[in-house]
Amino acid sequence: MASITPSYDREGEHIGWKASVRRRGFPPQYQTFRTRKEAEAWAVVIESEMTRGVWRDRSESEGTTLAECMDRYLLEVVPTKKGGRREVDYVNQWKARPIAHLYMSSVRGKDVAAAMRDMEAEGKGANTIRLHLALLSHLFKVARTEWGMEAISNPVESVRKPRLPQGRDRRLVGDEECRLLAACQSVNPELAAIVRFAIETAMRQGEIMGLAWDAVNLAQRTVTLNETKNGTKRVVPLSAAACKVLSELPRRIDGKVWAYGQEGVKYAFPAACRRAGIKDLRFHDLRHEATSRLFEKGLNLMQVAAITGHKTLQMLKRYTHLRAEDLARMLDRARP
């Protein structure tokens, strides 16, 4: 039977109501509430679950805050995930929000929705918010399956996710490629080589900048990527132009292909675009450009996916922006 008793602090002040549920075959359950009505409602739920055989121990989730779970997630889970450095920042941002002070058992969809509104007010984009939500959702999944919090539900599942904007369709137009390469050449010849290589291979910026000579086989015209964004090894075929870029580079003592690092390109590429008078072009747009060119060369879906490393048609479509005039020429070539 459940019992509801008043709860007092050390000075004898009434601070709430303590609900106790004792039933044979189950550990005693205790919880303190501000009002007697809340205590009675909680006791009814616990007794009903015990009667129906669906009760789960809530003591772990009712005594652990989201912030404490974030710390544990940072220690146990993040180091095992690819891209963990970025998730460290996500964890710290979650810990700074009001929701972090709630106990795991009390986090509800409305709390997550409030955090989403705060993120929108801070100027975060839809995709960034979805990445934050993905981390929170995975934390609740781990808490349920590995940390003894089977009774909690995942509050992320009950909120509406922000709609992703339509994928960028920015491609090089007119003489932009020539202007861009000329500007890169004036900044640093290696920067121009990096841009040419990106346009020829459709590789990600991180894959290009992390390239080492032991992954390059100019005889077979391939680059082997053992570490990729999706965790799958990929062998990228090299066009004659891509091979020419690499063959003209000096060999470095440290084994790296480029003297530039990611941070260097992060600042040098926008500077080259400004010098060339090119607006709204990001380095990642070169991957879109290269992927689209592969289709325009006549490669089929599976061939392009094998080169770019996209695992789903949906993602490949977001990276492909075919020009109508190029498709028209392909139709003419296809005529019998």
Dmax (CA) of the chain: 95
Helix ranges (DSSP H) in 80-125: 84-95, 109-121
- Respond yes or no: is residue 229 known to be catalytic: yes
Task: Exactly one of 34, 101, 141, 229 is catalytic; name it.
Answer: 229
Task: Exactly one of 204, 234, 288, 293 is catalytic; name it.
Answer: 204
Q: How far apart are CA 129 and CA 166, in angstroms?
A: 16
Q: How far apart are CA 187 and CA 269, in angstroms?
A: 9
- What tokens appear for 147 in the block? 């940390």
> HSE (CB half, 13 Å, CA atoms) of 130?
9
Q: How far apart are CA 93 and CA 99, in angstroms?
A: 11
Q: How far apart are CA 98 and CA 76, in angstroms?
A: 23
Task: Exactly one of 144, 287, 288, 293 is catalytic; name it.
Answer: 287
Q: Would you give the distance in Å from CA 101 to the centre of its chain?
A: 24
- Respond yes or no: is residue 284 known to be catalytic: yes
- Respond yes or no: is residue 30 known to be catalytic: no
Task: Exactly one of 73, 90, 260, 319 is catalytic; name it.
Answer: 319
Do the Cβ atoms of 241 and 196 come closer than 8 Å? yes
Q: In what order do the strands lie in the sheet with 216-217?
A: 216-217, 222-225, 234-237
Task: Exactly one of 144, 288, 293, 310 is catalytic; name it.
Answer: 310
Task: Exactly one of 18, 138, 171, 284 is catalytic; name it.
Answer: 284
- Respond yes or no: is residue 287 known to be catalytic: yes
Amino acid in position 182: A
Mind telling me the catalytic residues? 204, 229, 284, 287, 310, 319
